[in-house]
Structure 1
């Protein structure tokens, strides 16, 4: 295990682990910060879990941060009664917020795949005070600057689905393939930070429920984007985009922000789809200013 460069900051923030039944799904979630502080709910990305957003958590003292593992990822169970698609995850997110008892007095943040889930939930009636989308999936994945890589990923997941379950599961957890993905997305030139990013992906990127659940979630991740829901999102929204994102190019993010009734775009330079790992301090500063401006309004 490689030590996190953000460990000392995170260690200063109290954390409590919980488990709750959410609409029939056993859900693990973590609570950071003081119980009486303003609440920010986090929704992590595809194949990740709550650990991935901890570097941003570490830079946001003064908040009560509620961070669940999405069903089928990390320590949360798979869905027993629905597909692992955007509608299923959006329905679960609304039920999670209700089960935790937040009563509308919270802000919501989604990263990557979580940006689609959070946007779909808000467009469907979930009512946070404000919405933050980090590395939002702002255009169809096959149209991004790495469209060829996305097509290869489609082939990879189709192959895993066609194999016998044990063989398909092993293919999905193949360490060499995970490393290729990690190397492709990391943009930092800091060798130690790159080593830590690769270690994070090695540790958490294969912690999913089962083969079928992961394949369903992947199909959802490449079949939908935030733009489908933007016009129906009435709450103030912040998009935190990356200058070198391989999934959604910056030009698409600039088009995306115009589709919201009330949204602003912040661009972090010299970073790609791993804002939460490479520039969490910069992201957290922009997020905090947006949330605090809303508190003063």
Structure 2
């Protein structure tokens, strides 16, 4: 068993159940913690709060570590979970003893991406998310191979998206739109690190993952074939193997 527990943070717009496919094999290797980020899954949005910020989501995770009396963990995240991981690394680098970045990037949004996020947030607020969010997201989130050959994964992802609250979806989009560039932060990382990406990831493609890995001293890059943006659901065995490289 690894000495350090493993904390994995989920992607948008799903929740911690996205890790179910890797949960058992990783739990054999170390203590595994997979919280729902605020507003997603079973985690409520605070009743009062300022502008949405991934720093607040990172502080939620730090508060969880404090409650569990965990001084240091291997921290990882997929997509938005990766953004929160980098926010936590900025706030409290001493709490991170290993780093796992899955289908994510270190850069801030382009102006166009930011506008698109804010438009989705506004639509979620005004219309809810039923009938359009999953339909628009599934083709982007899952690789072509998964969409063509694995209908059970497509159905699983669609179901997870449809179960998220519109308010949580809107908060997450606004928080991601406001995030800072973390590329310079990566150059200061001195813990074992792995970057994982699906070969068919259209959201954060392999070249983005390569840039991420190049920015982190001694990081390992793992490219998983026949997988898109949600590699833990599409290629769980490869993700388990990659994550296991930084458990110690």
Which structure is larger by alpha-carbon Rg, 1 or 2?
A: 1
In 2, Cα distance between equivalents of 1:92 and 1:43: 12
In 2, Cα distance between equivalents of 1:215 and 1:75: 16
For residues 207-226 of structure 1, what are the structure 2 equivalents within 5 Å?
A: 207-211=163-167, 213-224=168-179, 226=182
With normalisation by structure 2, the TM-score equals: 0.84
1:68-106 deviations in Å (ceiling 9; x for gaps): 1111111111123434311111111111111112222x3
Q: Which of 178, 198, 221 does residue 242 from structure 1 map onto? A: 198
Alpha-carbon distance change, 228 to 175 in structure 1, aligned in 2, over 3 angstroms? farther
Is 2:91 the partner of 1:124?
Answer: yes
1:121-150 deviations in Å (ceiling 9; x for gaps): 01221422211111122444549xxx7xx5
* Kept after mapping to 2: 8 A contact 1:115/1:134: yes
1:201-254 deviations in Å (ceiling 9; x for gaps): 33221334453x432320222443552632343322211122222112222222
Task: Give SS of 1:57's match.
Answer: helix
Report which structure shows greater RCO (CA 8 Å, sep ≥6). 2
RMSD: 2.8
Q: Which moved more, 1:114-123 or 1:73-82?
A: 73-82
Alpha-carbon distance change, 160 to 81 in structure 1, aligned in 2, over 3 angstroms? same
In 2, Cα distance between equivalents of 1:261 and 1:142: 26
With normalisation by structure 1, the TM-score equals: 0.71
Equivalent position of 1:56 in the other structure: 22
* Kept after mapping to 1: 8 A contact 2:138/2:157: yes
Alpha-carbon distance change, 152 to 261 in structure 1, aligned in 2, over 3 angstroms? same
For residues 105-116 of structure 1, what are the structure 2 equivalents within 5 Å?
A: 106-116=73-83
Equivalent position of 1:184 in the other structure: 140
Q: Which of 205, 214, 225 does residue 269 from structure 1 map onto? A: 225
Task: Give SS of 1:267's match.
Answer: strand
Structure 1 unaligned spans of 5+: 1-33
In 2, Cα distance between equivalents of 1:221 and 1:277: 22
The aligned length equals 244
* Kept after mapping to 1: 8 A contact 2:121/2:171: no
Cα shift at 1:66:
0.9
Alpha-carbon distance change, 222 to 245 in structure 1, aligned in 2, over 3 angstroms? farther
Alpha-carbon distance change, 226 to 207 in structure 1, aligned in 2, over 3 angstroms? farther
* Kept after mapping to 1: 8 A contact 2:122/2:170: no
